[in-house]
Amino acid sequence: MYHPIYKITSIDILNKYCIAIKFSDGARKEIDLEPILIGEMYGPLRDEKMFSKAEIDPEVGTLQWPNGADFDPAVLYHWEDCVNELTKRASGWH
């Protein structure tokens, strides 16, 4: 069974809570993370200075921040399929 491995090759902060992500297969996604920036891990990313510190972990290829918040590249690649469920779960992260 084929399981694609998604690698993030670049990121750009577009504006408040929005990030553009380019993947190794050439796909580019613009993602608004605002709906899930709640709770202990993701809530601090509402601070624009913290959000702007997004980077690609060179070892495992996740999108990460200095406070330990991160996202798996596969989740970001399939964001449109995951965002509703993640938003529902985030409502319980207070």
User: How far apart are alpha carbons 77 and 42 in whole angstroms?
Assistant: 19
pTM above 0.85, yes or no: yes
Q: For tokens 């970001």, what's the residue?
A: 76
Query: Which strands make up the sheet holding 8-15, listed edge to edge?
Result: 8-15, 18-23, 28-32
**Tens of pLDDT, residue by residue, the chain (94 residues):** 777 888 999 999 999 899 999 999 999 999 999 999 999 899 999 999 999 999 999 888 899 999 999 999 999 999 999 888 888 887 776 6
DSSP the chain: -------EEEEEEEETTEEEEEETTS-EEEEE-GGG--HHHHGGGGSHHHHTT-EE-TTT--EE-TTS-EE-HHHHHTHHHHHHHHHHHHTT--
